[in-house]
Structure 1
Amino acid sequence: MRSILITGPGGSGRTTVAAATALAAARDGARTLVLSADGTDSLGAVLGVPTGTGPVEAAPGLTAWRPDAAEGFRADLVALQERAATALDLLGAARLDAEELTPLPGAGELALLRALRDAVLSEAYDLLVVDLPPAPHALDLLALPEELRRYLRRLLPPERQAARALRPMLGRLAGVPMPAGWLYETAARWDAELAAVQAVLAERATTVRLVAEPGPAGADQVRTAATGLALRGLRLDALVANRVLPCTTGDTWLAGAVAQQRKTLEEWQDTYGSGPDASVPVREVAHLGRDPRGGDDLLALDVPGAGPAPAPVEWPVADRLLDDGELIWHLPLPGAIREELDLLRRGDELVVTAGRFRRIVPLPSALRRCTVSGASLREGELRIRFAPDPELWPKGR
């Protein structure tokens, strides 16, 4: 199943492009689902068909859905209360009723991820188009499964569950109560759900599509988003330049805006269309002179089709094998700025920071026996040098 995740700066027309992409695919015969986490029905306004908390048919072959954050939030919290009943009673805590629960910030995004996973596992569709929140909030959302799984493994290591029979004795020896079995079971269930979402995001057929209006502000946000996506190992399959003005205009006021757009478009073509990231096509979507509404307007937009997914993003380790015999880890980070990069070795993990984005990645087995000897940023690629540790490296290497 092909999945296209669409994001971009706020107000860039993400929802419109997502709806147009989904509608065009449905017209071509693909069973298509378009998802949105927007609390207001901007998706329905663009499609011309109201959408809600349940899937609705927006057009032949096209289903639209805005997952309900409240229902899943209430169910999860009520279930957690039931499992923790003993602890809550000891604390004298008052129970919360489902009717009084209001979803916390972020519940809508979690509901979107859960719906994305369920849609892929159902195998009921050929194409899934997801209208994500604005970048960089969308990048934080896409990082959530990996980060939460890491927190769960640190707080409740799965291997400690094997000591269930020894827990009462260990509690007496330590002088503190040991976590109950239900806590590990809950953590295991959450880990399995997060792993399923993470697997969908890591699928070769899952890609991200950036939508932005060409201009100085859009250029800065595209660069930042492209760096964040690369850091997360997410594949960018297209850059959609939205609301492009016609080149020929007799209006002197519009002429300045057109010139600004053309300058940015040329820069995007140089960087993404023909530069080191030539696998990312830049597609121009013309301004209709009005806000698109309904199927006819959406089909008039020349949005890129689903197409095949690009090659996966790889972080290869290569032997330098020159005089110093170092190893080099290649991390593609298009758009990264040297002054915004930071590296920290933490045990068998490497903490990579690029601007506001951070990722903690496990080191490949060969690099765990090395020390970091330096790093450089060249042509959108971070190259980290590792020197073998004589005390850990096999003899004769």
Structure 2
Amino acid sequence: MTDSVLGQVVASKRVIVCVGSGGVGKTTVSAALALKGAQLGRKALVLTIDPARRLAASLGLSELGNAETRISTDMLRAAGLEPKGELFAMMLDLKRTWDDLIIKRAPADRREAILGSRFYQQLSSALAGSQEYIAMEKLVDLRLNRDYDLLVLDTPPTAHALDFLDAPNRVLDFIGNERVRSLLSPALKAGHLGLKVLNLTGGYFVRTLSRLTGFALLQELADFLGTLAPMYDVFKERAVKVKQVLGSQETAFVLVTSPHPLTVDESAFFHTLLLQDAMPVAAVVANRVNQAQVKAEELAAEQLVALAGKLEGAPTEFSEPAVERLRNAVAETESLARADERQLARLASLCAPTPLVRVPRFDE
């Protein structure tokens, strides 16, 4: 990693959070940052919840699990690297991580009821923000209770920036929704009989919801909220701790993007939200940037043939149409590079003064 901006971030921070749209290369950037930390002598862990297992592929592994896995020094040396520190990686199992949180934090007499509830299954798997929340919860747990010098979080792809920033609030709203709790409070206080009386004596919300969902399901919701109620303060406390760690001077956000116009717009918006939320944004990384090595109009036919001759499997002789096709390909690459540069100039302006780091497109 030759860029001084990212090099300084890796050398000085305890937590790096890589954020951005899906498909821009966050996982690869996250792995590279953690690897650089290990090369600098730090004990580094890169953490992902990517179900496509791109992190394992980036590190040359067949698979990763919910446990922290050390990347062998021999494997790194085989790739021409000489790390002074240690590199670990893990892929979060969302359901298991949620279960571990409940087992650790829930009152002993309520754990089984919570874990067995269908509403808990919704919370731990499908609720908007649940992935982001549990990833941040695990990050904070590792930061406070383990001895890693550097933690790099590869955040899940988000359709909208607010999915990430609002994750703790969405989970808290599900657990402690005041409106639902007030409407169901007689049942929560009186138990099964209270809910039956409420349903029979005029609770419009309850009667309507009961018709739509069935009385048994509504009773189950009341039971679940009652069981989970004592944990609201625990989740609230943890959400505050997450906010403190993310806003710490030892934490840095790296916003990963690409030169695509729509991605630039979304990244600029995300950058604004991060700053408004007082999150420490250290750099914007523009990944897979097209670069023109030469200009088509400056190449003579002989130079094009010489250039093509360097390609693997290229023929020894080229016809005039083949040379022209090569010239068009070089011109197309040059055009793509100019388009990328225009978008990056716009991105740099929108995100100023945050440093913009360019990562060129590499052949697969």
TM over 0.5: yes
Residue by residue over 1:138-157, the C-alpha shift from the partner in whole angstroms, topping out at 9 and shown as x without a partner, is 6423322245557767739x
1:121 and 2:133 matched: no
1:14 and 2:35 matched: no
Q: 2:67 aligns with which of 33, 54, 71?
A: 54
Tell me, which stretches of 5 or more residues in structure 1 are unaligned? 89-94, 157-166, 291-397
The residue that corresponds to 1:33 in the other structure is: 45
The residue that corresponds to 2:110 in the other structure is: 83
1:3 and 2:3 matched: no
Q: 2:164 aligns with which of 132, 141, 163?
A: 141
Residue by residue over 1:187-235, the C-alpha shift from the partner in whole angstroms, topping out at 9 and shown as x without a partner, is 2222222222222122122222111111322221222211222332222
Secondary structure, in 3 states, of the residue corresponding to 2:164?
A: helix
Rounded Cα–Cα distance in structure 2 between residues aligned with 1:181 and 1:196: 25
Query: Which AA in structure 2 matches 1:104?
Result: S
Tell me, which stretches of 5 or more residues in structure 2 are unaligned? 1-12, 73-84, 180-188, 199-222, 297-329
Indicate conservation of the 8 Å contact 1:241/1:283, yes or no.
Answer: yes
Rounded Cα–Cα distance in structure 1 between residues aligned with 2:278 and 2:170: 14
Residue by residue over 1:141-178, the C-alpha shift from the partner in whole angstroms, topping out at 9 and shown as x without a partner, is 3322245557767739xxxxxxxxxx99xxx9xx99xx
Residue 185 (structure 1) shift: 3.0
Larger Rg belongs to: 2
Q: Which has the higher contact order (CA 8 A, sep 6+)?
A: 2
Rounded Cα–Cα distance in structure 2 between residues aligned with 1:77 and 1:84: 7
Structure 1 stretch 143-152 or stretch 232-241: which is displaced more? 143-152
Residue 284 (structure 1) shift: 0.8
Query: Which AA in structure 1 matches 2:343?
Result: T
Residue 183 (structure 1) shift: 5.6
* Structure ranking higher in strand proportion: 1
Query: Which AA in structure 1 matches 2:335?
Result: G
Indicate conservation of the 8 Å contact 1:69/1:108, yes or no.
Answer: yes
The residue that corresponds to 1:269 in the other structure is: 348
How many residue pairs were aligned?
Answer: 264
Query: Which AA in structure 2 matches 1:68?
Result: D
* Structure ranking higher in helix proportion: 2
Rounded Cα–Cα distance in structure 1 between residues aligned with 2:28 and 2:86: 18
The residue that corresponds to 1:105 in the other structure is: 126
Secondary structure, in 3 states, of the residue corresponding to 2:156?
A: coil
1:281 and 2:343 matched: no
The residue that corresponds to 2:268 in the other structure is: 223
Q: Identity of aligned pairs, percent? A: 27
Rounded Cα–Cα distance in structure 1 between residues aligned with 2:164 and 2:263: 21
Change (3 A) 1:136 1:205: farther
Secondary structure, in 3 states, of the residue corresponding to 1:11?
A: coil
The residue that corresponds to 1:63 in the other structure is: 88
Rounded Cα–Cα distance in structure 2 between residues aligned with 1:112 and 1:84: 21
Residue by residue over 1:229-276, the C-alpha shift from the partner in whole angstroms, topping out at 9 and shown as x without a partner, is 23322222101111122232441221221110111222233344xxxx
Q: 2:249 aligns with which of 163, 186, 204?
A: 204
Q: 1:255 aligns with which of 308, 316, 334?
A: 334
Residue 55 (structure 1) shift: 0.7
Indicate conservation of the 8 Å contact 1:67/1:111, yes or no.
Answer: no
